[in-house]
Amino acid sequence: MRNYLTAECYKTFRRKYFYIVLAVCLGLELVLLGCCWLTLSWGNPNVTFSSTAVLVPFLLGMGLCAPLITGDIVFSDQYKHNTLKNEVSYGVPRARIYLGKLAVTALVSVLAALAMLGLYLGGCWLLFPHAAGDGQTWALVGYCLAGAFPLWLAGLAVVNACYFLIRSNTIAAFTGVGILLLVSQIFQLLGLLIHPVFEVIRQFMPNVMVDSLANMAFQWNYVGLCWLSGLVWFAAATAIGLLAFRRKEIR
Amino acid sequence: MRAYLTAEWGKAVARPYYRIYLAVMAALAAALALIWWWTGREGMFQGSFGECLSLLIPFFSAGIYLAVIVADAVFSDQYKAGTLKNEVSYGLPRVRIYLGKLLTAAAAGLLLVFLTLLAYAVLCRLFIPAGPEDWQAVQTFLFRLLAALPLWLGALSLTMAAMFNIAHTVPMLAVVLVCLSGLGPVFRGLAGLGPDWLSALAEALYRLTLTAPMDLGAVSLWDPAYLLWCWGVGLLWSAGSTAVGLALFARRDIH
């Protein structure tokens, strides 16, 4: 496994894909910071560290869909290029292939998240005026990240399963987005029309929990609930993906 | 061109991809009709056939994303499979390749829309009782559909332009989805802050995005200004992305 992970990491970090995506994301963040700084220099009194950093708790949903890209950086269309067939026919156990790529995708995602959060929060801290509420803002950001992390891992597991099981890259991406974003909407509709139990299930879906975190501020039992839900989703998605992958014929 | 279109159309509809897509859409339409019927029996839903049609109108904004899948069904990873190289080296003019695939995708999309909505309307008509306001609702449905079609075409053209010029699927999808769903919120956010000229500019740019016309809930029936807005935005995106996509594709080196 260690060799497999080393190999996957080497492959991922040697290619330019990861760095290009990161550069684009960090560039967009700089543009956002720049625009906020510009309005500040035009005399907008509402731009402070608190008001800009507080964007993070409300954009946690982005972290849920980011695995679509980080998963592609690692998995990278191996069905089309037939390189997955090489790994399987070489004799590498399928569980090792699946879990190895899952682990490397998690690593890539965490690194990207650290870089993006670091740049944005650091930029906000340096560029914008401070006020008394800063400590509260940091606490809120910390709370939300603590709750969002397991949910992001859940999204990662779902997307990884989609990439492994669905041959067409486009459909895999759409299925991942569908599961992560659309199913909760459908459940909301069903909950209103058919039975309230759908609404109850909906409250435990990753995108719903991630969006509610900012409003549940400082209820640490909700963070506990996020960890529980996230780990259940992670385990279920990985189990389904792994079991289906083991039985799948790789042509 | 006619032979090329025939070939592309045959290829697109013969593959399971399009047929499965069609089956899934028809199944979803049937499922929704069934939900209305079932909840009508329970007494929770008191609507008529006309109201079932009106309830589908908010789903039209999803058509923008479904157009992306239609484009994929026609273009289908030709950079990965290397088949685009074959067409180009055979001697087919690049304009014919591009416009041929775009027209095929548009036709495939129209067929998909027609069959899906027909299935939904027929099932609703069979299972849901008619009501007094039905004719008005049918007109509203057709009006909003007529307004949505150019916006869907715009999304399709954008996707085709991206598919011809960005060889990797996921970055291509990222660009397309950012243009389709990201620009609107960004412009609306910009409209809120800063000086008046920025707000006015952001507001104007927002109105030119593909999702803006469909964000409106209630529109007066057969309002010509609304139709003009939708067709204007849709044709702007279609013509613009086709022009840019074709220009870039014509100069591209296909390995």
Q: For chain A, which residues score pLDDT lower than 50?
A: none
C-beta atoms of A169 and B81 within 8 A: no
- Nearest chain A Cα to B40, which residue? A193
Can you give the pLDDT at residue A18?
92
CB-based contact B220:B69 (threshold 8 Å)? no
Does residue B31 belong to the interface with chain A, where contact is any CB pair within 8 Å? no
CA distance B255 to B252: 9
Return the percentage of chain B with pLDDT > 90, whole number.
47
The model's pLDDT over A199-215, given as tens digits with 9 standing for 90+, comes to 899 999 999 998 888 88
Question: Are A194 and B195 in contact (CB < 8 Å)?
Answer: no
- Shortest CB distance from B72 goes to which of A72, A170, A193? A170
Name the domain count of chain A.
Answer: 1
Residues from chain B contacting residue A77 (CB–CB below 8 Å): 80, 168-169
pLDDT at B126: 87
Residue B44 in this model has a pLDDT that exceeds 80: no
> pLDDT by residue (tens digit) across B169-183?
888 888 999 899 888
Interface test with chain B among A33, A44, A170, by most B beta carbons within 10 Å? A170
Chain-centroid distance of CA B32 in Å reads 20
**Closest partner CB to A68 (pick from B35, B65, B170):** B170
The pLDDT of residue B81 is above 80: no
| Structural domain span for residue A236 | 2-247
Name the residue with higher pLDDT: A38 or B103.
B103
* Higher per-residue confidence, B254 vs A145: A145
B194 contact residues in A (CB cutoff 8 A):
38-39, 42, 44
Model's pTM, two decimal places? 0.86
* Nearest residue in B to A25, CA atom: B174
Q: Which residue of A has its CA nearest to B80?
A: A80
Q: What is the pLDDT of residues A89-113, one digit of tens each?
A: 889 999 999 999 999 999 999 999 9
Local structure of residue A105 (DSSP, 8 states): H
Partner residue opposite B169 with nearest CB, options A21, A77, A194: A77
pLDDT of residue A81: 65
Nearest to B170 among A38, A72, A194 (CB): A72
Give the per-residue pLDDT at B193. 67
The pLDDT of residue B125 is above 90: no
- Kindly report, residue by residue over B105-116, the tens digit of the pLDDT: 999 999 999 999
With an 8 Å Cβ cutoff, are A170 and B81 in contact? no
- A185: closest chain B residue by CA: B59
B81 to A80: CB separation less than 8 angstroms, yes or no: yes
d(CA A229, CA A90): 37
pLDDT tens digits, one per residue of A176-202? 989 998 899 889 888 887 788 888 999
Cα of A236 to nearest chain B Cα, Å:
25
- Spatial neighbors of A208 by CB under 8 A, at least 6 apart, are A184, A202
Query: Which are the contacts of B221, defined by CB distance < 8 A and separation ≥ 6?
Result: B136, B139, B140, B143
ipTM above 0.90, yes or no: no
CA distance B38 to chain A (A): 9
CA-wise closest residue to B69 among A178, A62, A244: A178
Q: How many angstroms separate the Cα of A128 from the Cα of each of A33, A51, A125, B118, B149?
A: 9, 9, 6, 56, 45
C-alpha dihedral (B176, B180, B181, B187), degrees to nearest 10: 120
| Contact flag B169-A81 (C-beta cutoff 8 Å) | no
